[in-house]
Amino acid sequence: MALPPPSTTSASVSESGLYDSARRPPPFVEEFLALLRYRDLVAQLILRNVKARYKRSILGVAWTMINPLLTMLVLTLVFSAVFRFPTRQYALYVLSGLLAWNFFAQTTVAAMGDLIWSGGLIGRIYLPKSAFAVSAIGTGLVNLLLALVPFAIIAVAVGGPIRPAFLLLPIPILCLAGFALGIGLALSTAAVYFQDVMPMYEILLTAWLYLTPVIYPIDLVPPAVQAVLRWNPMTYLVGLFRSVVYDGQAPRPDALLAAVGISLVTLLAGWWVFSRRAREFAYHV
Amino acid sequence: MFEAAATERIEAPAAKPPAISVENLSVCFRVPHERYASLKEFAIRWAQGRLTYVDFWALREVDFEVGWGEIFGIVGPNGAGKTTLLKTIAGVLHPMRGRVVVRGERAPLLELGAGFHPELTGRENVYLYGTLLGNTRRELDARFRSIVDFAELWEFIDAPLRTYSTGMGARLAFAVATSRLAPVLLIDEVLAVGDVRFQERCRGRMDEFRRQGACILFVSHDPALVMDLCQRAVWLESGRVRALGPAHEVVEQYVAASG
């Protein structure tokens, strides 16, 4: 019986194949180069996350779409009854806010969770640790795109016109993704060292949601509270997302600048913190 | 049996520096005196200035070289630092002191199948595990047939991995991990899995790697296996090198000392 010969294709761990522990590139750069080499791993992890989620549930993909709709329904009923918000507009307003918020909340929690759950892997084989946070964001993007389908249907159903501004949607989504990745990386760094970061963050998220104009319009709160909300980066990111999908307008330059700035600074800071510590992770998991 | 593969030799010029150089390597696990699992506890201790650690040196001043075409064994009792050494060479652990140089691409066979997902099919897991080991999707596409041929799992390749037996999983993992002819192979106790026939095929593949000039690092609890397979070996004890030299001498000393 002939055994198939192993292939000779190379170039995986390092392009040159040389590993010198004393001459590794700076962590900030090394982690990025490693992630580029392992980009197919990121794709496989996203695929795994999406498939594993849907293989075991009957409704499958539908859950991603139904979940925000149900929340929207409840909130719309409550707010139009209690606060007498105009129902139709409010439904779209809250749904657009929830889509952006859920993306952020789910991906940051997943970035942390995936790194912790894969602890066994990190302690056994070399791979760029940022692959888990990046694939968590990627999975979130897939879910967000799926959830945008029912949003578009409802938008048409309640009589909102489809505007050309929708084509600008990648901009706010990329800003959100960059911000979520930065926060996710910083959080997962902390979570490697301390078990209680995850539950603490989940509590914080609840408070954060109410400090972000997701379910209420910002003009409706007292000026003092508005001043507080201006210190919340998510205010700008949710605002940018909403200006495109809800207002149907191209974002104002100052709003765009603020969102891009917040996103970039957070991403770079998160990457710096994470990559500086990533070499130690294997000692702690 | 391996004629086809024998033509694809790994380039190994005569005056090539050793495949692996381990220079004065020390690895330390810093263990807190008490465990600070929670941030709160850590913050309190830190504020009180009562954070104390115990340094556990898993490897101390380990020094050796492994040449091309050599099968090099690592023996020693549990907790001697064998796996830590292999992990440091694999790049999983970054050395605290000293240096590790590996002059070639590594194929780590540590904990075969770590990263398999039970709900995904065998086929999907080939790609997941393969990319975890640093292969690209395209490389795996090209090698998919030979991987499944070697694992002999064509019948089950589209069944979820949870339906596989332990041996089937190990076969698939070994096939993926050795599908690429890497010049440096790191093996940790993996030959203990699978049935006798599969173990023979694993050894066949190792021989083939070596004949093509690869360097193989081999950790095992089984002194007979190390003596049988390896040319040279190192005996580790409490993170230090107790003996280094021809495999039969090192293993005999080790067996005599522990016997």
pLDDT tens digits, residue range A19-60? 998 888 999 999 999 999 999 999 999 998 888 777 766 666
Q: Which residue, B236, B185, B232, is CA-closest to B206?
A: B185
CA-nearest residue of chain B to A197? B39
CA-nearest residue of chain B to A122? B92
| From B1, B92, B133, residue closest to A2, measured CB to CB | B1
Pairing of strands B53-66, B184-188: unpaired
B213 φ, ψ (degrees, to nearest 5):
95, 5
**Helix%, strand%, coil% for chain B, nearest 5:** 40, 25, 35
Q: What is the pLDDT, as a whole number, of residue A13?
A: 34
Token code pair at residue B165: 């037996």
Indicate the SS3 state at residue B18. Answer: coil
- In tens digits, chain A (285 residues) has pLDDT values of 344 445 443 333 334 578 998 888 999 999 999 999 999 999 999 998 888 777 766 666 777 778 778 888 888 888 777 777 776 678 888 889 999 999 999 999 999 999 988 877 888 888 999 999 999 999 999 999 988 988 888 888 887 677 888 899 999 999 999 999 999 999 999 999 888 899 999 999 999 999 999 988 888 889 999 999 999 999 999 999 999 998 888 999 999 999 999 999 999 999 999 999 998 898 887
Q: Which residues contact B167 (CB under 8 A, 6 or more apart)?
A: B193, B194, B195, B198
Distance from CA of A223 to the nearest CA of B (A): 35
> Which residues of chain B have a CB within 8 Å of the CB of A8?
8, 10, 180-181
Give the distance between the most distant pair of CA atoms in chain B. 69
> Which residues of chain A have a CB within 8 Å of the CB of B10?
8
What are the pLDDT digits (tens) for A187-216? 999 999 888 899 999 999 999 999 999 988
Look-up: residue for tokens 């292999």?
B86
Where are chain A's structural domains?
26-284
Q: What is the pLDDT, as a whole number, of residue B32?
A: 66
Indicate the SS3 state at residue A83. Answer: coil
| From B1, B131, B142, residue closest to A7, measured CB to CB | B142
Rg (CA), chain A: 21
CA-nearest residue of chain A to B206? A6
Whether the CB-CB separation of B106 and B182 falls below 8 Å is answered with yes
In this structure, the number of other CB atoms found within 10 A of the CB of residue A212 comes to 23
Mark yes or no for CB contact B128/A18 under 8 Å: no
Mark yes or no for CB contact A196/B117 under 8 Å: no
| From A3, A45, A194, residue closest to B39, measured CB to CB | A194
Distance from CA of A50 to the nearest CA of B (A): 11
Q: Residue B216 pairs with which residues in a beta bridge?
A: B71, B185
Mark yes or no for CB contact A19/B91 under 8 Å: yes
Token code pair at residue A2: 């002939």
Mark yes or no for CB contact B120/A48 under 8 Å: yes
CA-nearest residue of chain B to A45? B128
Mark yes or no for CB contact B92/A4 under 8 Å: no
Residue A155: enclosing H or E segment and its boundaries? helix A130-157
> Which residues of chain A have a CB within 8 Å of the CB of B137?
40, 43-44
Distance from CA of B145 to the nearest CA of A (A): 9
Distance from CA of B258 to the nearest CA of A (A): 28
Residue A18: enclosing H or E segment and its boundaries? strand A18-20
The alpha carbon of B143 is separated from its chain's Cα centroid by a whole number of angstroms, namely 22
Token code pair at residue B66: 């492994």
Mark yes or no for CB contact A125/B137 under 8 Å: no
In this structure, the number of other CB atoms found within 10 A of the CB of residue B71 comes to 24
Pairing of strands B71-75, B215-219: parallel
Mark yes or no for CB contact A38/B131 under 8 Å: yes
Q: What is the pLDDT, as a whole number, of residue A71?
A: 82
User: In angstroms, rounded to a whole number, what is the distance separating the alpha carbons of residues A18 and A280?
Assistant: 21
Mark yes or no for CB contact A6/B209 under 8 Å: yes
List chain B residues with pLDDT less than 70.
1-15, 32-37, 190-194
Distance from CA of A155 to the nearest CA of B (A): 36
Global pTM?
0.86
User: In angstroms, rounded to a whole number, what is the distance separating the alpha carbons of residues B82 and A263?
Assistant: 44
Whether the CB-CB separation of A197 and B40 falls below 8 Å is answered with no
B11, B35, B132, B217, best to mutate vs chain A, most A CBs in 10 Å: B132
B1, B83, B94, B197, best to mutate vs chain A, most A CBs in 10 Å: B94
Distance from CA of A238 to the nearest CA of B (A): 30
Mark yes or no for CB contact A194/B38 under 8 Å: yes
Q: Residue B75 pairs with which residues in a beta bridge?
A: B235
Mark yes or no for CB contact A194/B4 under 8 Å: no
Q: What is the pLDDT, as a whole number, of residue A2?
A: 43
Measured between its terminal Cα atoms, the distance across chain B in Å is 40
Distance from CA of A168 to the nearest CA of B (A): 32
Mark yes or no for CB contact A8/B135 under 8 Å: no
